[in-house]
Structures are given as C-alpha cells and as structure tokens.
Amino acid sequence: MIRPANLRNIRDESRRLREIYNQAWEKNWGFVPFTEAEIEFMTKELKPLLVPEFAWIAEIGNEPVGFTRVDDALAACRAAPKRFDAAVLGHLSSVASAFDLGVALRAIVPNMPILLATASADESGAEALAAAGIADIVHRPLISAELAPALARCLKTSEVSPANYGRNAFPDTQITL
C-alpha cells in the first residue's frame, strides 16, 4: 500500500521515518544517526510545513518498504518475487539508471508493473520505456490523484503498453514511437 503521511499520528510517523533514514544511511562514511530528541524537535518545527499529499509511505502490512540502494531492491525481489505488487522507480541521477533498474526488475519478476516517477518525460522515449519494462510514468513529486489511477491501470494488466505512458502525468508531452 502507498499512503500519505498521517498527521494525526505524526509522532509515530516521525519515529518510523527516523528508523528508515538511519537504516538507509548507516553504511555511508561519516554518517551520524538522528537521535530521538532530534527527530522530535524536527517534527515539531516542520509539521506546519508538511503537505500530506507530498509525503508518502509505502508499506506491506504495517512495514514500511522502499530502497535507497539498487542492490537492496534487487535482493529483496530475488528473495521474495511475489512480495511486491508493483514498483515505483524514482531517479536521482539519470533516467538511464532507472531504466537499468527496470530491466533488472523485469528479469526477476517479469509480470510486475513498473512505474517511472520523473520530473520530466522529455528524455523518455516510448521505445526506451518499453525496453526497460516501464508500464507507465507519473510526475514527481508524487500526488495521489495521479499515482492511484496509474497504479490501478498497471495492476489490471502486466502488459507494457506505450499507449498509457504519461496519460495523466504529462498532458502537454506526447511520447511517440
């Protein structure tokens, strides 16, 4: 399940985020984990700025899931290929790296729908998207009004269809073969 942050339970949400952040960064040289006091202070100070529609938590059951390292994502899929219903790939470096991850995920779980979350569809041609196994694209930052219909379309079929690319995400962009 992918859901917005629960502001009514912000204290538990911030504790979860602290655990996720600390686990994700613990192997980086010079990393200093956030303390509980630091997270409580940041939660109090930043809560007025939080927009729930832009703060997403992906969960299986009640367990947050998400990966900052490609190898971890691939290992999780290899270990339990049926664990994930879909993948939403973001990219911080290049669209090509997200495409490479899509190809690797497709090799492990051929029928898993893969969405690409990107700020611009300009560098994403339909042929490259299809080759990477990308079922649809959504705009980043993610918003529920766009992500939910894209996931619904993708979960109905495991077929990669260029006809759906960015249907709602990028109305001013046409992606053609």
pLDDT per position as a tens digit, 117-131: 887 766 667 787 888
Query: Domains of the chain: which residue ranges?
Result: 2-59, 70-164
What percent of the chain stands above pLDDT 90? 9
C-alpha distances in angstroms, 148 versus 41, 58, 151? Answer: 33, 13, 5
Which pLDDT band holds residue 1 (cuts at 50, 70, 90)?
Answer: low
pLDDT in tens, 132-168: 888 888 887 777 778 888 888 888 765 555 444 444 4
State whether the Cα torsion 159-163-168-172 is positive or negative.
positive
- For 70-164, CATH gives 3.40.50.2300
Mean pLDDT score of the chain: 78
Q: Say whether pTM exceeds 0.85.
A: no
Q: What's the pLDDT at 33?
A: 92
Q: What's the pLDDT at 153?
A: 85
